[in-house]
Structure 1
């Protein structure tokens, strides 16, 4: 169980964050030198070097988005140039990619981040450039929303790359693409010129995920423990009924793959922050603010509480809460995580994603005057504090990864096992590095009293010249 440090402040993390940005700069430049587009998008490291792994193209936005975050945090113009030029040169195919559920990962991390920086006045305002980013985000959100399966109860979901029967918990974080497209007053056009609301599909997907992929201890099955998360839910596409939980990257359908739980932890609070910008009357047709916020908060709180109870004391979890080798680690929940054990790998990328979710949930609860707000804020700070220390933060100039000891696909055995070890350790992944940077930027802004970091940023009419 996480030992939450209730005395930590954002300022207490600044030294670690500064050291992280220093190491981060070196690693971004190294990746630029060795990972050209001809070799495929970098996914994870093998013996310290980033390599591609064919499955789906979901990490290129994290690669160039990391450079944009580096500029955001440090004002170093070379990283803005990397992020902006590579977005313009290479990211266009991701805008109209009809085969993935990852638009929020690829396109919001690049086009969305550049748009946000321009609206914040961090980069020079260019009307045509801003319009180009907006158009990319409109198309991306609509294409994402078109991957649609209906459920028997009148709702629906954005289906995963596995096909129309498959709902991944990951996609809750990718809803940011629909959110931004709606924010830009876009909609999806269907047959007979039917105008389909992107906000409607966002809310439906979030509601279906909360009902299907998150458990609440209400007797759904004998493994129904509050806060447990199913990586995948499978539906009968003939009648739209939920059939069973499943998983692609976890140990079993009845255990919790911790990165999947982290997507839930990050995704729902982020959407609660976005919905706070939507007028009440606009939400009435979709059930009203109270109903929508209730199911989103319920899912976030349940997943966060389970994550706290099932993680080691530093908040850095093992890759699955039911992994069979955990019993050989003894009372692992009351010890620090051990990435060098011989039985089950930890997944630091899950911790990096979750840390931001805890911070956002705490922030949203504070706006609701909840007495529990500080608990989740401090949990997020505690997790990030430990990620900014060794053995997780890498200072080895020969290693291209920033956040060590992450896992991609344990069941398929894709992760590198160093010589002399029995399980994967010591490696990094593009989403883990990206989310460590994103969480660090968020806390850095909090510490300096700068504008609160959101994916949607300020509105156009709040900026001069927009």
Structure 2
């Protein structure tokens, strides 16, 4: 269980954040100067050098989004120029990509961040540049919403649906909750998504239906759904019968089993539910009423957010960095691993620092949300847990200080079951490598805290809508 530091404040991390952004700049430059773009999007490192690997192009938005965050944090316009130029020249195929569930990662991280910075006054206002970013975000949300599977409602509820993963129309990934940002942004920008016979499809409705399906099926609440039902257990994949819309079973693509918790999938949920709770405050009661009403929608999201964050706190080592899966087969060989700091170098199972970076943001957002709602004690618990995780990640052995290593956050894992991660000579497990999503999300969490310290506008994805 995480040993929560109850006295830590964001300002206590100021010196670490200063050093972090200097290191981050070096890593962005190293990739820009040395990565071979002919390989495709950089995904993760092998012996410290970024390379590509995977099913789809889902990480390029992190590459250029990282530079935009770097500018946001430091004001160094070289990074703004790099991020903006590459968004223009490289990202268009991601806007119209009908084959992925990753529009939030690719397009909100680039077009969304640039539009946000313009509305916040950090970059000069330009009407046509604004229109360009808005058009990209409008289309991205509609394209993402087109990957739709209709399902039966639970316990007599109305039918629902979800954005299906690249596995096919039967497959709901927990990751995809963060692509609901694309739908919500598109809706809030006033976009109208049209289908056959000019049928108008409500993008907010689709986002909320996907979020509800994730809460209903991917997240467990200790209510006896199966023999391993625990409060906050999270399945990477939920499988449906597309003939009749019925739910069938949990599964895992990158975790160990559908009955254990792949911790990066858990982290996506931890981050996704709180950020959507925050977004609801910008959406009118009139828009929410026909979709279930504010109270019901908030309760559904808050239950899932609490459950996943509670599970993370309970099933993570004391310093806040989890092992890659809570049911990994050799964890028992580590003894009382939850009662001591994580051990990135061991003979049995790897940690996943990227899950910690993503999850930390979720803990912080949920903590602030509850505090703002008057639940100070619970809010403080999650907030301090998030700070505790960040304090760990912003120092050795997780920050990559070696100038020859292109990664920023060490000890990230991509796909343990497939054996994609580099295993150093003499080791039994992978360690010491980085990933685009880990590097991006540690930057995002660092920016979140820095803005808090500096009393800047609250960092939220819907800041791109004005």
TM normalised by structure 1 equals 0.98
SS of the residue aligned with 1:84?
A: helix
Tell me, yes or no, if structure 1 residue 446 matches structure 2 residue 448.
no
1:226/1:302 contact within 8 Å kept: yes
Q: How far did residue 458 of structure 1 move?
A: 5.8
RMSD over aligned Cα atoms = 0.8
Instruction: State the match for 2:156 in structure 1.
Output: none
2:165/2:171 contact within 8 Å kept: yes
Tell me, yes or no, if structure 1 residue 2 matches structure 2 residue 2.
yes
SS of the residue aligned with 1:62?
A: helix
2:171/2:239 contact within 8 Å kept: yes
SS of the residue aligned with 1:200?
A: helix
Q: Per-residue CA shift, 1:240-273, capped at 9, x if unaligned?
A: 0000000100001100000000000000000001
Q: How far did residue 459 of structure 1 move?
A: 4.2
Among residues 455, 459, 462, which one is paired with 2:461 in the alignment? 455
SS of the residue aligned with 1:457?
A: helix
Q: Per-residue CA shift, 1:63-112, capped at 9, x if unaligned?
A: 00000000000000100011000000000000000000000000000000
Residues paired across the two proteins, number: 460
- Kindly tell me: are residues 36 and 81 of structure 1, through their superposed partners in 2, closer, same or farther at Cα, counting changes over 3 Å? farther
SS of the residue aligned with 2:299?
A: helix
Q: How far did residue 35 of structure 1 move?
A: 2.0
Q: How far did residue 367 of structure 1 move?
A: 2.0
- Kindly tell me: are residues 58 and 240 of structure 1, through their superposed partners in 2, closer, same or farther at Cα, counting changes over 3 Å? same
Q: How far did residue 54 of structure 1 move?
A: 3.6
CA distance in 1, matches of 2:224, 2:53: 39
Instruction: State the match for 1:418 in structure 2.
Output: 424
Instruction: State the match for 1:242 in structure 2.
Output: 247
Q: How far did residue 212 of structure 1 move?
A: 0.4
Instruction: State the match for 2:82 in structure 1.
Output: 82
Instruction: State the match for 2:387 in structure 1.
Output: 381
2:41/2:52 contact within 8 Å kept: yes
Q: How does 1:77-226 map to 2 (within 5 A)?
A: 77-153=77-153, 154-226=159-231
Q: How far did residue 142 of structure 1 move?
A: 0.2
2:117/2:464 contact within 8 Å kept: no
Q: How far did residue 170 of structure 1 move?
A: 0.2
2:173/2:238 contact within 8 Å kept: yes
CA distance in 2, matches of 1:358, 1:183: 26
Tell me, yes or no, if structure 1 residue 274 matches structure 2 residue 279.
yes
Instruction: State the match for 1:408 in structure 2.
Output: 414
Q: How far did residue 37 of structure 1 move?
A: 2.8
CA distance in 1, matches of 2:171, 2:284: 32
Gaps of 5+ in 2: 154-158
Gaps of 5+ in 1: 461-466
Tell me, yes or no, if structure 1 residue 62 matches structure 2 residue 68.
no
Q: Which moved more, 1:32-41 or 1:175-184?
A: 32-41
Instruction: State the match for 2:291 in structure 1.
Output: 286
TM normalised by structure 2 equals 0.98
CA distance in 2, matches of 1:434, 1:36: 19
Among residues 397, 401, 411, which one is paired with 2:403 in the alignment? 397
Instruction: State the match for 1:464 in structure 2.
Output: none
CA distance in 2, matches of 1:276, 1:341: 45
CA distance in 2, matches of 1:35, 1:211: 41
Instruction: State the match for 1:463 in structure 2.
Output: none
Return structure 1 stretches of 4+ with deviation > 4 angstroms.
Answer: none
CA distance in 1, matches of 2:121, 2:309: 34
2:185/2:465 contact within 8 Å kept: no
CA distance in 1, matches of 2:189, 2:17: 33
Q: How far did residue 280 of structure 1 move?
A: 1.5
Tell me, yes or no, if structure 1 residue 344 matches structure 2 residue 349.
yes
1:159/1:168 contact within 8 Å kept: yes
Q: Which moved more, 1:360-369 or 1:306-315?
A: 360-369
